[in-house]
Structure formats: C-alpha cells, structure tokens
Structure 1
C-alpha cells in the first residue's frame, strides 16, 4: 500500500522542482545607455510626465535620457548611475504614469471634477497619486481607480466620457507633485454623499464642492 504513495510523492517533488526552478517571467527590464526598445519609450514617457525629460520619446537611450535618469535617481535617493534596474523602475512607477495611465487619470479627473476649479481638479488627481504611493491601496493607477466603490464616476459610467485638455493638464500637474489636497486619500461632496463612514475621516481642506480628508 506504500508504493502508490511513494510514486505520487516523487511525482509531486519533480513537479515542484521543475516549476520553482524557472526564472520569473515578470522580471524588471534593465535599460541603459544604448538600449533601444519599448521599455525605453515607456521610461522616457514616464520621466516626461514626472518632469525630468523634455524631449519627445523616441525609444533610444542616449545621453539626454541618461542625464534625466540620473537626476531622477538623485531626487529619490537612488544610486545615480544612469542605469534603470528594478529599484529605479519601482520608484519611478510610484511617481509617474505611462500613456494609458495618463488617459485613465485624465478621465477620472474629468468625470469626477469637471465642474470644479482647476485647483480642485488637480486635487482629485493628487488623491489618486497619494493612494498609489500608500501601502493601504493597490499599486497601480488602474487598480486604484477601479477599486470597488472607490469613485462614483466608475459606478455611474461617467468615467468613460472623453476628457478635455484641462483634465490632461491637471493630471500632469498631479503626477508632477502638485497636491492641493495636502496628502489626502479621500474626498467627497457633502451635499450628495450617502456614506456615513466618509464623515468619520479626518478632514483637512475644502476645495470647491469637495471636502478632502485622510
């Protein structure tokens, strides 16, 4: 009666050895001087949205890109070697957006705050960026925006409206660090809010129709 168990054990062990020995498929791409691929284009776009790269992204890692990378690394206390490995990618993705994420952030700002002042629109974008950097929330723009019951515009479908140029400018300002909310993670309109819980959050500032809170 032991023989089938032994065969099964060996088979399971072989299976585990086979799959645990495989290299990770989502390893961070390393890009440096001379690299030329889609990751470089993404890097340049992100550095541009964060305010470190002013050229048009071209997918080629040259001296201008290397200089932008080093300035970014110095700003965030990273080794300023001009090489973008796992550590630099991790930090960059917390403080920047790619093309699709910029579109998503602009959509959210437009659908949630198009009737607000420009400062109020930036503040809504800043809340998303604050959540992205917080350990209490998901680690991507899309996951933050589409987290269940996080934003009214997702629930009522207004998120899918086409954002205007002002919403895109507000999104870029929020990504680049302008935070009129002063670090807040939530906001609500007191005239339409139905959640009792949101009133329990510490309130910091009111901008237009929204109260921003922690």
Structure 2
C-alpha cells in the first residue's frame, strides 16, 4: 500500500510534480488541496488542468512562486496547512485550524473550472468595469480574453496578477475596477468559463476610438464586437 507519509513528511521527497504527472503523490496532492478548499475535481491521481489551476491558486494565496509546480516549498506549505487531515481510511473529525497565510477558500463549485470565488469576483469586476456598456456578447468576450491570458505562458499565472499587471487594463488605472459587478457581468464570466469565447482566442482588445498606442494597433486583429476590437 502506498504510504503518503513517505512523500509528504518535510524534507523527504525532492521530486517536483507538474501537469501531466500521474500517480499516488498526485492523488494525495488533490486530496490535500480539496481538504482546504482549493480543488473540487475528481481525486484521480492525474495532474490535469484543474489540478494545475488549484496548485497555482494555492501558491498565489500562500505567498509562493506561482508556477504550478509542486516542488519542495509548495509541498511543505501544503503539508503544514493540512497536517491535521485524517488518513484516507479514517473518518475525519472536525479539523483543527490550518496554519495559513491567507484564509482558505470555501469549496469551489465544479462550474468554476478550478477557479476560486475570489478569482470569479475579480474577473467579474474587470468585466463590469471594462465592458458594462457593451452587449452581453461583448462582456463574455472580455471575460474570455482574461481566461485566454490565464492559459498563455506570456501572461501571469492568476486572474488577479493578470488584471493588476501594469498598464494591462484601463479600469485598474482609473479605479473603476473597485466597482461592484452586476449579475450580468458575473453571468458573462461563467459563460466564458463554460467554454464560450466570442473573441475567438483573443488575448488583447482595445477601443479604436480612444486607443493611442501604436503597439496595440499593430496586433493581428480578429474581430470587432461593439466598441472593442479583439486581437492576438
């Protein structure tokens, strides 16, 4: 029988796990991430896309380098946060408070595609601030651009880091990002999470009436939806 303690005890294993890996360690990784509310997928021992997102979100909220790699520091931090977790064959009692650097999230619904409620909130704020005057399709397209950036190695590895990247979004510069999003903006984010991408894979967009950057005009244009031109 596989003994998780041999892999999870601090200082024992130096192996780095990443997307594409499979096996007992990944099964235990998923189990521990679920215990503190960062993972809602199947406990199947397969380091898939949803597991990768859960690891990255855990790293972001615990002050670690956000790279999706379950290396020594990430494993140790996760072990400390879940060390009161019951073994698989035991019935878990009420867990003692985890030692964390951030308040653990509530259980993430499957429809969130591995993102936390905090992630959904900040993306909704960006959609509302950037596109509240646009059609609903245009709002979904803006949400899709943020998610497309999340999948690209050219951008930061979390929604917050993407949105607050310097000069990335006008709504951050003028403070409108702090507005509370309406229900339509939230719905647009969930539609994008469920796979609707009206932007056809865009990672940028701009308003041609107000854009002054020669650089953005030089990006390959895909389509225009409302006032926004979507580009690669």
Normalising by structure 2, report the TM-score: 0.60
Residue 227 of structure 2 is matched in structure 1 by 209
Q: Is the contact made by 1:97 and 1:175 (CA closer than 8 Å) also made in structure 2?
A: no
Q: Is the contact made by 2:144 and 2:197 (CA closer than 8 Å) also made in structure 1?
A: yes
State how far apart, in whole Å, the 2-side matches of 1:99 and 1:118 are.
Answer: 21
Residue among 151, 168, 181 paired with 1:133: 151
Q: Is the contact made by 2:207 and 2:227 (CA closer than 8 Å) also made in structure 1?
A: yes
Any idea what SS the aligned residue of 1:31 has? helix
State how far apart, in whole Å, the 1-side matches of 2:34 and 2:152 are.
Answer: 33
State how far apart, in whole Å, the 2-side matches of 1:109 and 1:87 are.
Answer: 24
Residue among 196, 200, 218 paired with 1:182: 200
State how far apart, in whole Å, the 2-side matches of 1:116 and 1:31 are.
Answer: 39
State how far apart, in whole Å, the 2-side matches of 1:126 and 1:86 are.
Answer: 21
Q: Deviations over 1:47-71 (max 9, x none)?
A: 5xxxxxxxxxxxxxxxxxxxxx2xx
Any idea what SS the aligned residue of 1:42 has? coil
**1:149 matched to 2:149:** no
Equivalence map 1:59-208=2 (5 Å):
69=42, 82-83=44-45, 89-90=51-52, 96-208=114-226
Q: How has the CA–CA distance of structure 1 residues 185 and 92 changed in structure 2, closer, same or farther, with 3 Å as cutoff?
A: same
Q: CA deviation at 1:96?
A: 3.6
Any idea what SS the aligned residue of 2:39 has? helix
Any idea what SS the aligned residue of 1:125 has? helix
Aligned residues: 156
Higher Cα radius of gyration: 1
Q: Is the contact made by 2:53 and 2:115 (CA closer than 8 Å) also made in structure 1?
A: no
**1:43 matched to 2:42:** no
Post-superposition, which runs of at least 4 consecutive aligned residues in structure 1 deviate over 2 A?
A: 21-24, 26-29, 34-37, 81-88, 91-96
Structure 2 unaligned spans of 5+: 1-10, 18-25, 57-112
Q: Deviations over 1:117-153 (max 9, x none)?
A: 1110000000000001011111111111111000000
Any idea what SS the aligned residue of 2:124 has? helix
Any idea what SS the aligned residue of 1:104 has? helix
State how far apart, in whole Å, the 2-side matches of 1:165 and 1:178 are.
Answer: 18
Q: How has the CA–CA distance of structure 1 residues 164 and 90 changed in structure 2, closer, same or farther, with 3 Å as cutoff?
A: same
Normalising by structure 1, report the TM-score: 0.64
